[in-house]
Amino acid sequence: MLKAVYPGSFDPITNGHLDIIERCVSFVDELVVAVLDNPSKKSLFTVEERIKHITEATAHIPGVSVKSFHGLLVDFCRLEKAKLVIRGLRAVTDFEYEFNMALANRKLDPKIETIFVSASANYMFVSSSGIKEIAMFGGCVEDMVPENVKHCLYEKFKNREEETNGFHN
Ligand code: ADP
């Protein structure tokens, strides 16, 4: 029984993340998508909202569960009894950061292995931060995020715009 953890901010989940998840379940039995709960990192969506988005978007994929974690990733992996960490790589720019993190995690727990899964060519340019910026200015995020996330993004920015307008009036 091979169990893996796919950690990240997922603020919000994108089709790039979803593609990694779909490909991972072809070689792991269980995949825990782990949303990092880091109050010092400013996020657009709350952890609860992000968990809801991922749960809905992965409902059709067997073997996937969604949880939040805080603190050290290796502690969460031990708690989950998972020996594998999955990370996605889009380009060389991701590599240095990801490689450092994998080495640090190996130092903390040599029994936990990190596996890098390459992004699909279609989603190499897709990032949560890029998507938030596009959506904020009313751009089209079709095919970049799951349908449920698309609606939540527009709602979030619509509400923010209304709040800002209300504030100025
Ligand atoms: P973090 O803040 O931990 O980087 P993210 O939610 O941005 O969290 O990303 C989680 C993981 O998914 C990272 O390993 C990242 O490189 C990977 N990832 C992000 N976007 C894509 C994408 N479009 N295709 C493949 N992997 C991706």
Domains along the chain? 3-124 (3.40.50.620)
- Catalytic residue status for 90: yes
Find the helix packing angle between 73-80 and 92-108, rounded to 10°. 60
Atom of ligand 1 nearest to the CA of 41: 2
In sequence order, the 6+-apart residues with CB closer than 8 A to the CB of 163 are: none
Confidence at residue 168, expressed as pLDDT on a 0 to 100 scale: 45
What is the spatial order of strands in the sheet that 30-36 belongs to?
Answer: 64-69, 30-36, 3-8, 84-89, 113-118
Lining residues, ligand 1, CB within 6 Å: 8-10, 14, 16-17, 20, 87-88, 90, 94, 119, 123, 126-128
Using the predicted structure, report yes or no on whether residue 169 has a pLDDT greater than 50. no
- Among 9, 17, 50, 87, the active-site one is 17
Query: Using one digit for the tens of pLDDT, what is the confidence trace for 82-137?
Result: 999 999 999 888 999 999 999 999 999 999 999 999 999 999 999 999 999 999 99
Q: Model confidence over 34-51: pLDDT tens digits?
A: 999 998 889 999 999 999
From 3, 52, 90, 156, active-site residue: 90
Query: Over the stretch 24-83, which tens digit does the pLDDT of each residue have?
Result: 999 999 999 999 999 888 999 999 999 999 999 999 999 999 999 999 999 999 999 999
Look up the pTM and report it: 0.94
